[in-house]
Amino acid sequence: GENVEQHPSTLSVQEGDSAVIKCTYSDSASNYFPWYKQELGKRPQLIIDIRSNVGEKKDQRIAVTLNKTAKHFSLHITETQPEDSAVYFCADPSGNTPLVFGKGTRLSVIA
């Protein structure tokens, strides 16, 4: 992955609302797109990932969508809870190149 841009850099939502974070990538050979959650002082944790042969994947309140034509993938969190507050990173490898991480989105869920 040569370049991955992540937006927004910060996001505040009311508890119960949805949050959407978007990443764009440049390499059309990219085929695997993970999302990581990192709480303050803790390790990044993989929360969901998607491969290029799938357009959408869901896991309870979390979903990821992939638009290969537009070269972007998005993280969707529904019914947000205070414990969802963290920094979220997307990442992009291109098969056999190192993961390139986005700059992160700091999500704050306000109770």
Partner 1 sequence: GAGVSQSPRYKVAKRGQDVALRCDPISGHVSLFWYQQALGQGPEFLTYFQNEAQLDKSGLPSDRFFAERPEGSVSTLKIQRTQQEDSAVYLCASSLAGFDQPQHFGDGTRLSIL
Residues in the site for partner 1, rule: CB under 8 A?
31-32, 34, 36, 42-46, 49, 51, 89, 91, 93, 95-104
Give CA–CA dist 110/70, Å, rounded.
Answer: 32
Decide whether 43 or 111 has the Cβ nearer to partner 1: 43
CB of 60 to partner 1, least distance (A): 18
Decide whether 83 or 98 has the Cβ nearer to partner 1: 98
CB of 20 to partner 1, least distance (A): 19
Chain-centre distance of CA 97, in angstroms?
19
The distance between the two most distant Cα atoms of the chain, rounded to a whole number of Å, is 42
Decide whether 25 or 89 has the Cβ nearer to partner 1: 89
List the one residue out of 41, 109, 47, 38 whose CA is nearest residue 80: 109
Give CA–CA dist 74/106, Å, rounded.
Answer: 15
CB of 63 to partner 1, least distance (A): 17
